[in-house]
């Protein structure tokens, strides 16, 4: 199976975790801030999304990314790996919320207590965290150093899980596709949609792929 692992990181721990998974599964590894190339989405079976929610910006960015992937994961597998701020008790409800944005063929979730050193954050970052904590009721605290052995175990678990999944053929493979030049949403069909379901732009902004 072909894999893409994405990450969003402020202080590097999500990137370290994504790179560990990349090394184990031989993925295409990209930063979610990087524009997602439309041709890439046809070349993978599994999307592995690594993130560390440390404030509203990260949440919005991750949700925007999955919003752009809507409709592309119906015949693909989604793995979400949260690290850092959440506890293992809180993470499942967050992961389920992400699942609803993409509706993948199969869904799997993992959690790792990642690196978060509160004392090293900038005043702006601490203010963001304070706001996030007040909205969610979460307690912000030091979570220690990055645990490489735990990252290795998560990578091994993901590899084992994905290797046991059957390949699912996308019935839209080979059909005409259109890409929104504004947000990157991809539509399958003889003609572009009247309006982009992600950014609401008219059909005129769609280009054939």
12 and 24, same structural domain? yes
- Are the CB atoms for 104 and 73 separated by under 8 Å? yes
- Are the CB atoms for 26 and 69 separated by under 8 Å? no
130 and 100, same structural domain? yes
178 and 77, same structural domain? no
Higher pLDDT, 171 or 113: 113
> What CATH number is associated with residue 203?
2.20.28.10
Q: What is the per-residue pLDDT across 116-126, written as a single tens digit (0 to 9) for each?
A: 566 666 787 77
The residue range of the domain holding 143 is 3-171
Average pLDDT, the chain: 78
Instruction: Give the E-state strand segments of the chain in sequence order.
Output: 3-8, 28-31, 46-51, 77-83, 106-112, 177-180, 186-188, 206-208
**Has this prediction a pTM greater than 0.75?**
no
201 and 116, same structural domain? no
Q: What is the per-residue pLDDT across 41-93, written as a single tens digit (0 to 9) for each?
A: 556 788 898 887 554 456 666 777 777 776 677 778 889 888 765 566 667 77
128 and 69, same structural domain? yes
- Torsion, CA 113, CA 151, CA 28, CA 184, rounded to 10: -10
Per DSSP, what are the bridge partners of residue 7? 31, 50
Residue 39 pLDDT class (50, 70, 90 cuts): very low
Residue 38 pLDDT class (50, 70, 90 cuts): very low
End-to-end CA distance of the chain: give it in Å, rounded.
24
> How many domains, the chain?
2
């Amino acid at each position: 199976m072909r894999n893409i692992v994405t990450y969003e990181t402020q202080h590097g721990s999500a990137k370290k975790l994504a790179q560990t998974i990349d090394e184990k599964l031989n993925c295409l590894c990209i930063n979610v801030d990087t524009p997602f190339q439309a041709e890439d989405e046809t070349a993978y079976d599994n999307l592995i999304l690594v993130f560390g929610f440390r404030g509203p910006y990260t949440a919005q960015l991750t949700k925007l990314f999955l919003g752009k992937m809507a409709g592309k994961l119906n015949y693909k597998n989604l793995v979400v790996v949260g690290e850092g701020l959440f506890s293992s008790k809180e993470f499942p409800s967050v992961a389920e919320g992400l699942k609803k944005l993409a509706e993948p063929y199969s869904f799997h979730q993992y959690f790792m207590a990642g690196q978060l050193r509160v004392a090293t954050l900038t005043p702006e970052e601490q203010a963001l965290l304070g706001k996030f904590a007040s909205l969610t009721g979460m307690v912000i605290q030091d979570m220690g150093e990055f645990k490489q052995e735990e990252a290795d175990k998560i990578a091994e678990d993901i590899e084992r899980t994905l290797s046991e999944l059957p390949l699912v053929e996308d019935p839209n493979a080979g059909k005409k596709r259109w890409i929104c030049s504004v947000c990157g949403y991809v539509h399958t069909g003889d003609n572009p949609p009247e309006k982009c379901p992600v950014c609401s732009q008219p059909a005129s902004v769609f280009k054939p792929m």
